Copies of this chain bind each other. A is one copy, B any other.
Amino acid sequence: MALIVHKYGGTSMGSTERIRSVAQRVAKWVRAGHRMVVVPSAMSGETNRLLALAKELQPARMDAAALRELDAIAATGEQVSVGLLALALQAQGVPAVSHAGWQVPIETDSAFTKARITRIDDARVRADLEAGRVVIITGFQGIDPDGRVTTLGRGGSDTSAVAVAAALKADECLIYTDVDGVYTTDPRIVPEARRLATISFEEMLEMASLGSKVLQIRSVEFAGKYRVPLRVLSSFTPWDIPIDEEARSGTLITFEEDEKMEQAVVSGIAFNRDEAKITVMGVPDKPGVAFQILGPVADANIDVDVIIQNVSHDGRTDFSFTVHRNDYVRTLELLKSKVAPATGATQVVGDTRICKVSIVGIGMRSHVGVASRMFRTLSEEGINIQMITTSEIKTSVVIDEKYMELAVRSLHKAFELDAPVAA
């Protein structure tokens, strides 16, 4: 008898018929003797419907007071879906109870629309589990120190599920989604992409942060921090497939550098076209300039991804970074109005027509020349590299977005990701 957390996305919860099917799947796990916690998203389309209503009425300037209301509104989507799933389980004869984030409570900070979980009190959930109930907890949301409802941002339900699994020391957290696992790259771009049976936590972290949309990055961070065994699998298999088969399906995110003797050098190709590039030009190159530029950006709660500072000429340097495209205009205005005058920068320029393509693999640690093979491949295709950033297990390049598909396909082939795996 294990303690298992299931997470179901909005598509899996998209109609009463599908919710019934989720209930049947969960009931199967209960009958197999497991204690179950389920974290569902809102019914697909519901969060967008709510935000569209808000958009018609909201003030032009979305200050904290307005974002607070936006979160209270958006959070109701999951509050409906957990109640519906609880009823559907009860209708199957399975005792079930739902809790909103504030009822658990799932405590967060006060960064409305992108809050972070700070603590989960597991007493109430444990009491319900011990009473033999399936516990259904809203994804995507929590409660801040002032008792206000917060949301975790798009995809936040993954994070909720993993955080709940961590708090409960669950045996496994299963993320049911509309794909059947993690692929070497997006099969819509490269038809030869293969599903990975396992992927290391670190690789998954890079894949998630680089734009592979399978899992929200913070959920992977949480899983790594608390060593939550995580599995990504399909919610579109029939609910009544044998439970052993289901429990082995999808992609397992592992923590051991693992049993496979001959790991591929590169496990996957990730890409992302949600970012925009901004360059602050002609900044005096002196200590503290990076903080002078990025401090106000961070204060405005804007996430920065790639950051590059070139060597200086004549005591001045160019400072580039990428932000989410939704934050592009706001960041540019902030830099032009406040940062440039304060730092003495000569110009602030930006470009939204970029994309980031990355190769990811634990094998890169022990294999030289991986990055250079990447650069050669892109060069052979005539693709100009605008920015480069690397970590121990990944190399990312920023290129013109019109070359994205070409870059991904040629890299997938160059690193032999389409070849069958040796048994």
Using a CB–CB cutoff of 8 Å, the interface residues on chain A facing chain B are: 16, 19-20, 23, 50, 53-54, 56-60, 65-66, 68-70, 72-73, 75-76, 79-80, 82-84, 86-88, 90-91, 93, 95-98, 100, 102-103, 147-149
Question: Is there contact, CB below 8 Å, between A83 and B100?
Answer: no
Residues of B within 8 A of A90 (CB): 58-59, 65-66, 69
Known contacts A58-B91, A86-B69: A53-B16 contact under CB 8 Å: yes
Q: Which of B69, B103, B147 lies in contact with A103, CB distance below 8 A?
A: B147
Q: Which of B57, B93, B95 lies in contact with A84, CB distance below 8 A?
A: B57
- Pairs A-B, 8 closest by C-beta atoms: A73-B83, A76-B76, A59-B91, A16-B56, A57-B88, A69-B83, A58-B87, A69-B86
Q: Can you pick out 18 interface pairs between chain A and chain B where the beta carbons lie within 8 Å of each other?
A: A16-B53, A16-B56, A53-B84, A54-B83, A54-B84, A57-B91, A59-B90, A65-B90, A65-B96, A69-B83, A70-B87, A72-B83, A72-B98, A73-B83, A73-B84, A73-B87, A75-B79, A100-B149
A64 to chain B, nearest CB (A): 11
Give CA–CA (A204, B200) in the complex, Å: 70
Known contacts A69-B86, A69-B98, A97-B68: A20-B80 contact under CB 8 Å: no
Q: How many copies does the complex hold?
A: 2
Residues of B within 8 A of A82 (CB): 72
Question: Is there contact, CB below 8 Å, between B100 and A87?
Answer: no
Residues of B within 8 A of A58 (CB): 87, 90-91
Known contacts A69-B87, A98-B72, A147-B103: A80-B60 contact under CB 8 Å: no
Closest to A23 in B: B57
Q: Which of B54, B83, B98 lies in contact with A87, CB distance below 8 A?
A: B54
Residues of B within 8 A of A23 (CB): 57
Give CA–CA (A71, B59) in the complex, Å: 31
Residues of B within 8 A of A103 (CB): 147-148
Known contacts A16-B57, A86-B69, A88-B57: A50-B95 contact under CB 8 Å: no
Closest to A147 in B: B103
